[in-house]
Amino acid sequence: MAGTKFAYVRNFELPDPLLPDVFLVCRLDGHSFHRFSDEHGFVKPNDERALQLMDHAAKSLMSEYNDIVLGFGESDEFSFLLQKRTNLYNRRHAKILTTLTSYFTSCYVFNWPRYFPDTPLRYPPSFDGRIVVYPTEQAVRDYFAWRQADTHINNLYNTVFWALVQQGMQSTTEAHANLRGTVSAMKHEILYSRFNVNYNDLSARFRKGSVVVREEISPPSEPKAQNSSAEKPSRVKKKVKIRTHVEILHCDIIGDEFWGARPNILSQ
């Protein structure tokens, strides 16, 4: 058959397994979102609708792929942690990477009208992705700390910058020049003294980014019948399938509290 003669070309498809027993972090970034946000009139410095759309796509992705145990997003990027022992697609690198990237993109476009009902998409947005392998719990925690520290740095800068431009009537060039070399405390001070803004009163979504987790759903209280059925104790021991629900938080993930409360994220 015709197919057979050409099928040797499959020999060029080389295997690409990811190392077993290490954490996988998949990070997606919006492609040319500077232009995309301009073309679609995103509010500066933060567009609540655009961030909610990103969160929605992340939540959908995690609902579809149970092996993702944590998500963290800011601006036009999102990182996802796959559990150490995941055997998703036999840990084939390209298969995992492209499937997650594609589904996230699809969710973003699919749900656009819900968040931008009056702003039709002018052209199709896209994301690039990469998978980074982390061998230790510490490195995973530091990865997410790195992203959240980045959120803080960027958001503080952007908040002052746009205040100078939008309310201070500076040109963007002037605003950048004024901020050059300023440390964090000085930026807080500019916001407070010139614009009467207390940075810490801003929305936690803007300051902390979005943390997507699976939270356990409290089981409904046990039906009485079961308690009274003392004659079948063995059944009580059956493994209870814990039901979870994907939730979005805007909390600190640099300190220990978040991780201490959710030991499953790293131990699975």
Residues at the site binding a second copy, with contacts judged by CB under 8 A: 1-3, 5-15, 17, 19-22, 28, 31, 60, 94-95, 97-99, 101-103, 105-111, 121, 123-136, 139, 142-143, 145-146, 149-150, 152-153, 184, 254
CA 115 to chain centre: 18
Output the smallest distance, CB 4 to a second copy, in A.
Answer: 9
Cα 106 to Cα 112: distance, rounded to the nearest angstrom? 10
Output the smallest distance, CB 231 to a second copy, in A.
Answer: 40
Cα 71 to Cα 79: distance, rounded to the nearest angstrom? 6
Query: Other C-beta atoms within 10 Å of 157: how many?
Result: 16
Beta carbon nearer to a second copy, 43 or 149: 149
Cα 114 to Cα 121: distance, rounded to the nearest angstrom? 12
Is 59 within 8 Å of 212 (Cβ atoms)?
A: yes
Output the smallest distance, CB 167 to a second copy, in A.
Answer: 26
Beta carbon nearer to a second copy, 110 or 192: 110
Output the smallest distance, CB 178 to a second copy, in A.
Answer: 19
Beta carbon nearer to a second copy, 80 or 165: 80
Output the smallest distance, CB 79 to a second copy, in A.
Answer: 11
Cα 267 to Cα 87: distance, rounded to the nearest angstrom? 15
Q: What angle do CA 178, 181, 185 make, to 5 degrees?
A: 90
Beta carbon nearer to a second copy, 6 or 196: 6
Beta carbon nearer to a second copy, 149 or 186: 149
Which residues have C-beta within 8 Å of that of residue 108, sequence separation ≥ 6?
A: 53, 54, 57, 125, 127
